[in-house]
Amino acid sequence: MNKKNALTQPAPSASPRKTVPEPVAPKKVAARPVQQVTAVEMGARQREISVSEFFTKNRHLLGFDNPRKALLTCVKEAVDNALDACEEAGILPDVMVRLEVVPTGGTTPSPSQATRFRITVMDNGPGIVRQQIPRIFAKLLYGSKFHRLRMSRGQQGIGISAAGMYGQLTTGKPVKIISRTGPKAVAHFFEVQIDTKKNEPLVHENKQIEWNQPQGTQVTLEVEGKYQKGRASVDEWLEQTSIANPHVRLIYQTPEGETNEYPRTYHELPPAPREIKPHPYGIEFGMLLKMLQDTKSHSLSGFLSSDFCRVSPQLADEICKTAMVSPTMKPRDLKSHAAETLYQTIQNTKIMAPPTNCISPIGEKAILSGLYKQIKGEFYTAVSRPPAVYRGNPFIIEAGLAYGNRPENQTKPKQLAMPKAEGEGEDEDSELARVIRYANRVPLLYQQSACSMFKAVLSTSWKNYGVTQSRGALPGGPMVIFAHMASVWVPFTSESKEAIADYDEIQKEITLALRECGRRLGLFLRRRERAASEYRRRNIFELYIEEVVEACNRLKGGKLLKEKLKAQLRKIATSRTGGMKTDQALGKTGTGPEGLPHSIIVTSEGVEGEVELASQVEADAAATVPPVDADLLGDEKLSVGATKSRAKKAHLRADKTPQSKAAQMGLFAEKGSSGKKPIRTRTQPEKPNKPKRPANAAAPRRKK
């Protein structure tokens, strides 16, 4: 035991180490007095934050995330304002967009390497009065569209002034504006910037100048950006804008010096939308309380019938009676409890849907015109849904579809493919469909996966319509899907207006429109496939008609009416292979197959369906591009190379010369099994070898 205690006993030197005092340095830090802030000092630090200061620090909320996207946002806001002004004034828009590289350090870099650009957007609209120019271009949340319930591209009064603020932050340059309200009015020139502390315009220069434009507005911004072609670029945005706005003539001068013109193919303005009053279903309780205090009506019944749409005086009296309030009481005297009862009564009352004359949809014909102009396909269709309502706001969903390749592209000789392994099929549908989204005629290029339209495309079962589709993916094949929402108030997910919120009513309407387009596509594909099979059978029959007629003529001693017999045999072959339905499905009658309204079908022998619309588009595209007048581009004119390239593209579109029957059948023979030659027809240049009759074969017997 003593030995064990001796072993467990600590060493003599260990006990003094335990008694070593702790360091005193932390005590000195804790001993310092903490500086306290009083409530008075905290209150003195509070100050108002202007909206300009907020968006200066949070410019990514407005779409200025990166230089490439910022360049696109500046062009987009300026073009949207120009189109809105022209359409509201009843003028067919002529818009010019010019991008120029700004020299830095005495040298002008290439467009792909440049970091500073000058954006110029000019229109032929009604112009802007002199007093309003500084506030429109240099004050956030200032505009004429926020308080009106009518369809327009701009909504919040932020866009163009935010673009000027971005240019001011990145380059320090002011916004330059030239505007004239008529040929007899003077042109005003302004240089403005925004005071971010007060959200007020600062006018640096204001003068009258000579301008060769009879009327309109020109805006010039100098911003930091990055120019790059391809997806989500300025070029793609302008191209998609011309699809949804075929009534616009758009001229685009690229930083490389090229000039691209998107001609006007629809020569009618869209119907002008009218302003409506708010619908009772579209307001919340707090908004009702505010309207009760701001109304000019002297009675509650008059307030309901005059400040809301679809509420008649009889319905207003019925609502007041159900809510147990007097119809003659003053609206300001209605307090919170009674007002809440009135609000619940309004929500539970059956009220007619709001009017739809506040919306101006694109229309099926205009959608077909835009798709046919910009996309080379084989089948086009468009659908406009009936008006619907979400949160008391009316909206219309439109959808379109372009499928396939033009026949002139299909008949080109294909390159030899690499040999495939056993069991490996042809990967014809490796290309996925492309979705182009619009809100109030404005293309949406970013945040595609967060948009309700894109989700509706993914949720649609395209396999039911003869198109391949993997689980949770876009359909496969050469296809472009067009989706558009027109509304008095589009529910965007952010201030940058890049994606549409996922409301059930909106999702339902988009899905129904896409299903109708898919049904028409499936009908076209199935009919075309069956018709191609019947047409091949008919060609086989016609291949032997000459031989049968000659044999019958020999049996009759040369006295047979050969042409009559040929016509009878062709009639039998036609009736046995589908008759006129086969010709309609293959585009040989010009009327289009039944069940495909508002559709265009392109064949090797021409166009069927909306023939007049397609002919108008081709005529506009084939027209020689005239030199641009000075009143639109100033000193600039179209370059010769750009004009030739546009004429060449137009010539390719207008080339609709009929081809031989064999060339048309080559379209369907290529889709068959590889290694088989297409069936020769009677009208081919090479005359087929006549089949030899075997020696032991008997001669055909003559009919009694």
Residue with tokens 């059978």: 537
- What pLDDT score was predicted for residue 533? 72
407-411, 492-496, 621-625, 649-653: range with lowest mean pLDDT: 649-653
Same domain as 85, residue 196:
yes
- Per the structure, the complete domain to which residue 322 belongs is given by 280-348
Identify which has the larger pLDDT, 446 or 12.
446
In angstroms, the CA 547 to CA 565 distance is 12
- Secondary structure (3-state) at 251: strand
Cα distance between residue 376 and residue 667, in whole Å: 16
**Domain match, 81 and 143 both:** yes
Quote the Cα angle for 77-146-235, to 5°.
Answer: 15
Q: Give residue 373's pLDDT.
A: 86
Token pair for residue 550? Answer: 């000659």
Give the mean model confidence (pLDDT) for residues 563-570. 81
Residues 82, 195 within the same domain: yes
- What band does 23 get if pLDDT is binned at 50, 70 and 90? low
Mean pLDDT of all residues in 522-532: 80
- Residue 144 — pLDDT band, cuts 50, 70, 90? confident
| Cα dist from 516 to 470, 651, 653, whole Å | 21, 33, 28
**Does 312 score more than 90 pLDDT?**
yes
Least confident of 457-461, 504-508, 624-628: 624-628
Note whether residue 93 is domain-resident.
yes
Residue 413 scores a pLDDT above 60: no
| Residue 624 clears pLDDT 80, i.e. is over it | no
My answer on whether 129 and 237 are in the same domain is yes
What's at 438, amino acid-wise?
Answer: Y
Q: In 627-696, which residue ranges form alpha helices assigned H by DSSP?
A: 630-633, 640-654, 661-669
Whole-number Å distance between alpha carbons of 336 and 340: 6
Q: Is 620 contained in some domain?
A: no
CATH number of the domain bearing residue 214: 3.30.565.10
Residue 399 has pLDDT above 90, yes or no: yes
What's the CA angle centered on 162, arms 71 and 232, to 5 degrees?
30
Q: Are residues 198 and 255 in the same domain?
A: yes
pLDDT score recorded for residue 30: 52
Domain limit, last residue, from 207, 228, 262: 262
Residue 29's identity, in one-letter code, is: V
Q: Does 27 have pLDDT greater than 60?
A: no
* Residue 605: inside a domain: no
Average pLDDT over every residue of 396-404: 93
Residue 457 near residue 467, CB atoms below 8 Å: no
Percent of the chain at pLDDT exceeding 70 = 75
In terms of Cβ atoms closer than 10 Å to its own Cβ (0-12, 13-18, 19+), residue 35 is exposed
Average pLDDT for residues 492-512, to the nearest whole number? Answer: 91
The neighbouring-strand residues paired with 606 are: 603
Task: Give the model's confidence band at 395: pLDDT under 50 very low, under 70 low, under 90 confident, else very high.
Answer: very high
Same domain for 317 and 229:
no
Report residue 589's pLDDT band, with 50, 70 and 90 as the boundaries.
Answer: low
Q: Which residues, in sequence order, are bridge partners of residue 434?
A: 480
Per-residue tokens: 462: 């395209």
* pLDDT surpassing 50 at residue 606: yes
- Are residue 258 and residue 287 in the same domain, yes or no? no
DSSP letter for 24, please.
S
Which residue in this structure is represented by tokens 């407005």? 62
Residue where a domain stops, chosen among 205, 231, 262: 262
Confirm if 300 and 331 have CB atoms less than 8 A apart: yes
Residue 385 predicted with pLDDT over 80: yes
1 pLDDT more than 80? no
Specify if 239 maps to a domain: yes
Same domain, 303 and 245: no
Mean pLDDT of 118-134: 95
- CA dist list (Å): 305 to 286, 317, 318, 336: 19, 9, 11, 21
Whole-model pTM: value is: 0.72
CA-to-CA separations, 684 to 539, 569, 665, in angstroms, rounded = 11, 20, 11
Q: Which residues does 574 contact at the CB level (< 8 Å), separation at least 6?
A: 538, 582
Say whether both 254 and 291 belong to one domain.
no
- pLDDT, greater one: 557 or 605: 557
3-class DSSP assignment, residue 338: helix
Residue 249, pLDDT above cutoff 90? yes
Domain boundary (348, 382, 403) is at 348
The whole-number pLDDT of residue 567 equals 83
For residue 272, tell me if it sits in a domain: no
202/319 same-domain check: no
Q: Alpha helix (H) ranges present in 556-660?
A: 562-576, 580-585, 611-622, 630-633, 640-654
C-beta atoms surrounding 403 within 10 Å: 23
Q: What b/e sequence results for 408-420 when a residue is b if at least 16 CB atoms lie within 10 Å of its CB, and e otherwise?
A: bebbeeeeeeeee
294: CATH: 1.10.8.50
Between CA 150 and CA 651 the distance in angstroms is: 41
Query: Is the pLDDT confidence value at 543 over 80?
Result: no
Class of residue 702 by CB neighbours under 10 A (exposed 0-12, middle 13-18, buried 19+): exposed
Q: How far apart are CA 492 and CA 58, in angstroms?
A: 18
Mean pLDDT across 502-531:
90
Cα 676 to Cα 79, 661, 680: the distances in Å are 53, 18, 12
In the predicted model, what is the mean pLDDT of the chain?
79
- Is residue 256 assigned to a domain? yes
Total structural domains within the chain: 2
Contact (Cβ atoms closer than 8 angstroms) between residue 362 and residue 396: no
Residue 334 lies in a domain: yes
Residues 77 and 177 both lie in one domain? yes
418-424 average pLDDT score: 46
The reply to whether 205 and 85 lie within a common domain is yes
Query: Is the residue at 84 inside a domain?
Result: yes
